[in-house]
Amino acid sequence: MRWSSFYHTASRVFHEYPSLSKSVVICTVISGGGLVAYSDAGPAQSDQNRKKKVVVLGTGWAGTSFLKSMKNSSYDIHVVSPRNYFAFTPLLPSVTCGTVEARSIVEPIRTISRKSGANIQFSEAECYKIDPKNNKVYCHAAQNKKLGGLEDFSIDYDYLIIAMGARPNTFNTPVEDGLRIRREVINLFERASLPSLPVEEKKKLLSFVIVGGGPTGVEFAAELHDFVHEDLHKLYPSLVEHVKIILLEAGDHILNMFDKRITEFAEKKFKRDGIDVRLGSMVVKVGENEITAKERGTGQVVSIPHGMVVWSTGVGARPEILEFMKQIGQVNRRALVTDEWLRVEGCDNIYALGDCATINQRKVMEDIAVIFSKADKNNSGRLDLKEFHHVVDDIIERYPQVDIYLKKNQMKDMATLLNQSQETSAMVDIEYFKEALSKVDSQMKNLPATAQVAAQQGTYLADCFNRMELCERYPEGPLRFRGTGRHRFRPFRYKHFGQFAPLGGEQTAAQLPGDWISIGHSTQWLWYSIYTSKLVSWRTRALVVSDWTRRFIFGRDSSQI
């Protein structure tokens, strides 16, 4: 009774004096060796102490790079994606022909999340609507999951990161497509081997048409050629002579984003290998049994019978992204427009990165007057080089096209640029300033939709979130030319590390920084080394290397499993 009375008294005190709500009274009962404790949870956790909710849509290169680099545990992160894995897409062409197994290039998102230092929750679902006014995303479970009407749900967010990629074409990113292509190639050979089929039907079945002469299309053509002539010719010796690989490219050259030397080497090698490269061919129709293309030079429309068509000519915006763009007034755009900090224009707490977004780099000439005013400390209307030096670093950081222009024209610094516009005076006014920088904006280019860009954006944004509180107190970005103070963060800057184009026959072409061009067998080993190092985990590295070793020793697998 005595302890019961004490309990009721203490309970009344705590309720009457909320300031004591976090106190805990612990009494030890000697005779029983027991423990009596009281604790009042008090009111709900204040907004000030509540963890901010970050919702990430997508588990591609951008989303996964963000998750891997996120180390700040002060956020609750919720990932939503219809696929519960990350796929190393540069090796997908190898999956289509059995050089690498599909499971070797994927890593479960939950495994990646577990290794991160952040609080990450994953839901295998697809976002179908974004509500920026109420900070909600609406999702439904993957199509093959039936939960009795409980498939749909919504998630509130403080920050939203859209990394959903683009709408996949016939051949782009899903691992399932790579496996489907591999099975279909074998299926076509099996059908063509039937003794009842006439020769013309065999030729049609074994006619493979690849649309698009970019890196993906070229690599798939090379992989398919090697698969046929290194492995399938042993199993189907009578069919190899009927195989035809056709590569259709609407432009003047394949690999037109590479150096001219690589383009010429690739075209000559494909000609030697018997791959039919048709330049200036624009596809106008794809049918079940034939593909129709228009020759740009002659205007002639030709029909090509095929057994399989692989499309690798780019991507388009996803329907849910297009709907979201309408909500925020971004109409007639191919992708979500962001600023240099990857923040969606018109939305302060929504970021977009990867293939679904494009950066709207601000032009120097749009801000030329405020830049001049910021540098002109004494408001004299004229600017000497000493005054200009105070803002030159901020200009180059805020407007990267300035640095590109200086390097392209072999100018040492901004002072050289100004002196070239007015050599006779150390002072410049606004008109001379405009003239000096008038051609700088011509260097602006959109970033390509590549894995390299998406991965760097994900890492950059994670670094911003990791240091959000610190940079709020101590901003590190460039000057706000249209305001006061500095931007919180430095803007995103893409650094190009080069690109590869495997050409088959254990030969690869590489264009690396510094205009270094490398082509041949040694470059293939460089490709092996770099791609191994870029794989997401030691598990996938071990699996891919073992797949390559198996292929060297035993060849590629031709089963339809």
**What are the pLDDT digits (tens) for 192-230?**
999 999 999 999 999 999 999 999 999 999 999 999 999
Average pLDDT over residues 8-26: 43
- pLDDT of 481 over the 60 cut: yes
Q: Are 507 and 521 in contact (CB under 8 A)?
A: yes
User: What is the pLDDT confidence band of residue 260, given thresholds at 50, 70 and 90?
Assistant: very high
What pLDDT does 38 receive? 41
Number of continuous H segments (helices) and E segments (strands) in the chain: 20, 25
For residue range 508-556, list pLDDT tens digits in order: 999 998 889 999 999 999 999 999 999 999 999 999 999 999 999 999 9
Instruction: Identify which of 181, 177, 201, 178 has the alpha carbon closest to the alpha carbon of residue 191.
Output: 201
User: What is the pLDDT confidence band of residue 24, given thresholds at 50, 70 and 90?
Assistant: very low
Query: Under 8 Å CB-to-CB from 419, ≥6 apart: which residues?
Result: none
DSSP string, 375-400: H-TT--SEEEHHHHTTTHHHHHHH-H
For residue range 238-248, list pLDDT tens digits in order: 999 999 999 99
Average pLDDT, the chain: 85
Average pLDDT over residues 432-437: 80
Higher pLDDT: 260 or 406? It is: 260
Enter the pTM of the model.
Answer: 0.84
Write out the H or E segment, with its range, that includes residue 66: helix 61-69
For residue range 43-60, list pLDDT tens digits in order: 445 555 788 999 999 999
Instruction: Identify which of 440, 430, 434 has the alpha carbon closest to the alpha carbon of residue 406.
Output: 440
